[in-house]
Structures are given as structure tokens and as C-alpha cells.
Structure 1
Amino acid sequence: MRKVLLERLVSLPLVVLAMSVVIFGITYLVPGDAAESAAGVQADAAQVERLRQEMGLDAPLPSQYLSWLLGAVRGDLGRSLVDGAPVAGTIADRLPVTLSLTAAGAVVACLLGVPAGVLAGLRPRSVWDRLATAGASVGVAFPAFWLGLILVALFSLRLGWLPATGYVPPGVDAGGWLAGLVLPAVALGLTPAAALARQMRTSIAEVMDSHYVRTARAKGVPRGRIVRRHALRNAAGPVVTQLGFWVAIMLGTSLIVEQVFSLPGLGGAMSNAIMQHDVPLLVGLALVLVVIVVLVNLAVDLCLSALNPKARQA
């Protein structure tokens, strides 16, 4: 486990460096730049060129990247080309919202998907199995933003149970923070819950049909003990792997869900940075998402090592 942790931590700077080159290059393939966005549609070519020089956009691309990289190594991700705000400060203000939403979506996915998959896998071809499988198939087909709009219309506008928009920091009002995350978390976590239910159903059914489970049954070991001590642990590996995959997807999907529920997370900043060609802000936001995905994959590897002694020895 220490070896896995050390290898990932060593490779993290290399991954971030490679992704910074890719992201920095891709942003310049998009037509236009921040100078044109800031000048407006009525500005002439001379005004746009003057703004481009003031922003440093007239320098060659490798020179711009090297300047940005030297600052990033010192912890300075630069300033927004639009409003001049520090990129690191913008990320620090908005990142807790996105992380809270993604974590809440993962909790919803686990609470809904894992128990449904376990019950379906323990009773294959039963009525519950058919219902869980059908529900999972329907859940996978729901787009998160569409489900978010339905939830707002039902539970906020019609019933008035939960707020439709807005975000309250947990340090200000823990109850308001939790209430504001319920609907977006459900919208974000329903599709992963369906996928986890299908994976858990398959894994638990395979484990319960394995030779060592049959042997334990023949020896008279109670079914509940077999499930608790052996089946769940051995079936958890593929589910943990898929959860890590879906957490990365939810991290990206949360940027869209934030727009539906007007949450001040990274989604709004990312959208503005793309529309305004704000390269420093866009690169900083993208790199933060890359680092989070790498750390999620590291957590998955550590969980798999804890669940599987053979993987830990390898």
C-alpha cells in the first residue's frame, strides 16, 4: 500500500505538468482571445491589439506558457484576464461548493445503489431482482440536468420542501447547507446509483455462486454470516472501482448541475472562462479537476489494496 501511495504521489507532478501543456495548447485552438472579449464587438482592430499587448497575449505561446509555469511552481496561478482577480483565490472560494456537491452525489449513489444491488444479487431472478434491474436501467437513462429541473419543479416550486437555488456555507448554517445540497445531490447521484446497483448485483450474485460459498453453506455456516464476512467484502472490489470512475464523471457533471441550481461552484467560473477566453483561469480550474481525479484514483487503489490482500502483497 505504501508503494502504491508513493508511486502516485511521485507521478502526480508529472501528470499535472503534462495536462497543463495540453490544456494550455487547447485553449489557444479556440477562435478569439480574452482581448477580443474584453474589447467588445464594436472595438476596432487597433483597440483589440492594444488590449492584447497589455494582457501579454502578443507573446509567443511557449513564452506565455513558460511564464505561467514559473509562477505556478511558486504557487501563483496568475490572475484572470477579465477582472484581474487571483486565480488561486477564485478556486479557493468556489472549490468547496463543487467538492460538497460531488461528495453528496457519491453518498446518494452509494445509499441507493449498493443496497439495491445487494438485495437483487442475493435473490436472482426474483421479483425484487427484476424491479431493481428495471429501475437501474431507467436511472441510467436520466440526464442529471433534466432530473434537476424535474426535482426543482416538484419539491421546490410545487411542494416548497427544499430550496431551488443558492448555497449556504456549512459554517454559517449547517442545516441550510444540507437542505441546499439535497436536490442537486439526488440529481447528480441517481445515474451513478443505477450503475452501482447493476454492478453490485452482478458481483454479489457471482460471489454467492462461488465454490467457497457453497462449501461454507455445506458446513452449515448461516447465510447472513456468509454475506457479511465473505460475500460483501469480495464483491466490493469491482463496485469500488466503478465508484471511482463515477466520482470522476460526477465531478464533471457537477459543473452542469451547479448551473441548474445556481450554485457558486467551479461550473460558473469554468463557463465564464471559456466564453471569455480567460486562459489563466481556465487552465487553473482544469488542473484542479485533474488533481482531484488523480487523488480519487489513488483512493480507489488504496481501498482495493485494503480489500484484497493479494493486491496488497503485489
Structure 2
Amino acid sequence: MGAVVERGGMDTLTPTAVIEHAPAGRGARPLRAAGRLLAVRTAIAVPLTVALSAAIFAVASLSPFDPLAAYLGSNYQFATPAQRDAMRAAYGTDQSWYAAWWQWLGGLARGDLGWSSTQSQPVSTVLAERLPFTLALSGAALLTATVLAIVLGCLAGMRRGGVLDRALTGLSVAFAAVPPFVVSLALVVVVAVGLRWLPASGAAAPGADYTVAGVLRYGILPWLALTVSMIPWLLLTTRAAVVASIDSDAVRGARARGVHGWALLRGHIAPVSVLPTLALLGTRLPELIAGAAIVETVFGWPGMAAVLVDSAAALDFPLLAALTVAAAAAVLAGSALSDAAAVAIDPRIRMAG
């Protein structure tokens, strides 16, 4: 059952106990409360993830596509019914969805994620080869966007109505309406094709091995595209929180005591203003995952986007389930961590229930 996380007027539906403002000196200590929150959310996330994995198998089984068409390619139309039945038995596509799910779940409990028919290798190998590229790209973009959004949002909020505030707000509103693939294509056309400053796709030159320097160079454009697509909402949220904090009684009292400038921002405004940004990070992780998939596709980045599309089209159940469950676990973990960080940062909120 969903509950409410109350953070300075921003209510977010979360599957956990209520987090509410508590009087000073009451409630568990912040770190202990954050640990309790993580324990509750983990207890909820485990059965939820298991149910989601079953739903993936059930929904995929309703697909009108025949996975043999993807496996056999142009030979599919020439295969006899007996050959198709033998292929279905070999690939395990003749099973019911619940039998396939139970078999996959049992293998997962033993540490075996199964065999990917689309990649012709174990699912664990696919994840080991491609997941680091996706995590590196998404993590770098998330970190950069968060830092820039908090810094610029604080500057805009502190100078409300000024030139900087109007410029940053206008740019944020404009870029919030631009899909990630448009930003990606614009970077390709201008930077890669027009100026020829950076490569347009891949993570290494054709036929070359991956190197740290090469991956960093090839990753600049997808990193920029994903970062730009994430900044607007984070910046606008931080700015709004700063503006609200400036008008609060606590900040007015600090100013009356002679606290101004950097000291006021660091000690009284930023600690409260960062909480809505943390909440937004937790709720917009699905958008980050979707944006990363789009950006990876445009730039040919060797992450999980391409294999996700292939596994969905060919009903590669083991790989599709592993990718979907991993994405869901990332979203649940991110939401829990953002709430736990809010509890640890702000001693005025506590766990209840």
C-alpha cells in the first residue's frame, strides 16, 4: 500500500511507511531512520520484483511475433512444420509462460541467468560485456546533471527575477520540451558531421579494441546528450525550492542575525532545497533509463539498448527478463536511496508507522 513522503510540501507516493516532520528531539536519529527505511523498502521490493518477472513472461507470451522468425531469419519460410517444432523444443519456446518463468527463476536462484538465443551466449556474459557501458554513461550523466542543476538552480533562485534567473529558466523550459533523440541528432549533425570534432557512433574505431581513452572520447557526445536531457527538470525543481526557502521564516531570521551570501545559502537554504531534487531523482529514474536507451541507439553505444530491442522482438525470455528485472531493481533502489538520503540529511523528518 502506497504512503506519503512529506518533504516541505512536496508529496511523493512511495511504497513505504510515512515520513513526516517531527519536532526537534523526537524520533530516531537520522542515520538509524534511513537504515530502517531501506530495510522496509527492500522487504517490499523483493516480492514486487519477483511478481514483475512473472508479468514479463506472461506479457511476452501474448506477443504475435514468432521467435523462430528471428532465430531462422530468411530460412524461416522454408522450414517444414516438423523442423519448426524441433527448433521450438530446442530453444524452449514451446513451453507455457509460467513453466518458462519457473525454470528461469530456479536458474536465477542458482546463479544461472540462462542462455540468450539472440546473442548466442549466456545472459551473464551479455550483461558483463554491455552493462558497464550503460552504467558508466548513465551514472556519469546523472552525476553531472545533478551537480549542474543544483548549482545553477541555487544561483537562479538566489537571484530571482534577474538576468541569470530568466536565462536559466527559459533555457530549462525550452530543453524540457526537446526529446533526447533530438538533442542526440543535433549533436551528431553539428559536432560530429559539421565540425568533425568527435566521432559520431560506437565506442572504438571499427576493428579496434576498447581502450579507456577511446571510450572516453567516443562517449563525450552521448554523455552530453543524456546530461542535457536530464538537467531542465532538476534545475527548475531546485530553483523553486530555493525561492520557497528564501521566503521562509527561518531564512528571514538568519538574515536578521546578519547571515548573508554564501553562508546563508550553505547553512540555511541549500540543505532544505536539495531535498525536492533528491525526491525528483528517485521518481525520474525510469526516464533516465528510457533516455539512455534512446541515446545509446542514436550513437551506436555498445550498451544494453540494442540487446533489449533484439530480446523483445525475438522473445528471448531469459535476456528480456534479466534486463527488465535489472531496470526495475534500479528504479526501486534509486527511489529508496533518495528517500533515505532525505531522512539522513534533514533531521526534521522521521519514520512513522
1:6 lines up with 2:39 in the alignment? yes
Match of 1:147 among 170, 183, 193: 183
- Identity percentage of aligned residues: 31
Residues 29-178 of structure 1 mapped to structure 2, 5 A cutoff: 29-39=62-72, 40-167=76-203, 173-178=211-216
Higher relative contact order (CA 8 A, sep 6+): 2
When the two structures are aligned, how many residues end up with a matched partner? 312
- Taking structure 2 as the reference length, the TM-score comes to 0.83
Distance of 2:223 and 2:283 partners within structure 1 = 17
- Aligned-residue offset at 1:172: 6.1
The answer to whether structure 1 residue 197 and structure 2 residue 230 are counterparts is: no
Letter paired with 1:265: G
- Report if aligned partners of 1:306, 1:312 keep a CA contact under 8 Å in 2: no
Q: Tell me which amino acid in the other structure corresponds to 1:248.
A: P
* 1:218 is aligned to 2:251: no
1:261 counterpart (276, 290, 299): 299
Could you say which residue in structure 2 is the equivalent of 1:229?
Answer: 267
Distance 2:283 2:249 in 1: 30
Between stretches 94-103 and 5-14, larger displacement belongs to 5-14
SS, match of residue 76 in structure 1: coil
Residues 159-207 of structure 1: CA distance to partner in whole angstroms, max 9, x if unpaired?
A: 2222222226xx9643333222221112112132011111111000000
- Give, in whole Å, the separation in 1 of the partners of 2:266 and 2:77: 65
Task: Find runs of 4+ consecutive structure 1 residues off by over 6 angstroms.
Answer: none
Deviation at 1:115, TM superposition (A): 2.3
Identify the residue that residue 21 of structure 1 maps to in structure 2: 54
**How do 1:280-295 residues align onto structure 2 when only pairs under 5 Å count?**
280-295=318-333
- Aligned partners of 1:15 and 1:225: how far apart in 2? 44
* Displacement after TM superposition at 1:236 (Å): 0.5
2:341 to 296, 303, 313: 303
1:51 is displaced (CA, Å) by 1.1
Separation in 1, partners of 2:93, 2:314: 14
Structure 1 gap segments, 5+ residues each: none
State the AA in 1 paired with 2:127: I
* Between 292-301 and 258-267, the greater mean CA deviation after superposition: 292-301
**Hey, which of these two has a bigger chunk of helix by percent?**
1
Contact 1:5 1:298 in 2 (8 A): yes
Are 1:208 and 2:246 an aligned pair? yes
What is the rounded CA distance, in whole Å, between the counterparts of 2:223 and 2:284 in structure 1?
Answer: 14
Looking at secondary structure, tell me which structure has more strand per residue.
2
- Check if 1:247 corresponds to 2:285: yes
Cα distance, 1:312 vs structure 2: 4.4
**8 Å contact kept, 1:105–1:250:** no
Residues 203 and 210 in structure 2, CA contact (< 8 A), matched pair in contact too = no
CA contact (8 A) 2:282 2:336 kept: no
Equivalent position of 1:276 in the other structure: 314
Instruction: Indicate conservation of the 8 Å contact 1:140/1:191, yes or no.
Output: yes
Distance 1:94 1:172 in 2: 12
* Structure-1-length-normalised TM-score: 0.93
Q: Following TM superposition, by how much is the alpha carbon of 1:27 offset from its aligned partner in structure 2, in angstroms?
A: 0.8
Q: Please list the CA deviations of residues 209-238 of structure 1 after superposition, one character each: whole Å capped at 9, or x if unmatched.
A: 101111111122223211111100011100
Q: Is the 8 A contact 1:259 1:267 kept in 2?
A: yes
Taking the aligned partners of 1:131 and 1:288, their CA distance within structure 2 comes to: 39
Q: How far apart in 1 are the matches of 2:164 and 2:246?
A: 17
In structure 2, distance between residues paired with 1:27 and 1:229: 52
Q: Does the 8 Å CA contact 2:141/2:227 hold for their aligned counterparts?
A: yes
Amino acid at match of 2:326: V
Looking at structure 1, the residues matched to 343 and 53 of structure 2 have their Cα atoms a distance apart, in angstroms, of: 30
SS of the equivalent of 2:258 reads: coil
Q: Deviations over 1:51-102 (max 9, x none)?
A: 1122222233322221111111111111113454111111121111111111
111-120 vs 65-74, greater mean Cα deviation: 111-120
CA distance in 2, matches of 1:248, 1:60: 30
CA distance in 1, matches of 2:253, 2:312: 59
Q: Could you tell me whether the CA contact under 8 Å between 1:108 and 1:185 is conserved in 2?
A: no
Q: What amino acid maps onto 1:264 in structure 2?
A: P
Query: Following the alignment from structure 1 to structure 2, what is the Cα–Cα distance between the partners of residues 313 and 84?
Result: 48
**Quick one: distance in 2 between partners of 1:164 and 1:108?**
21
Cα RMSD (Å) of the superposition? 1.9
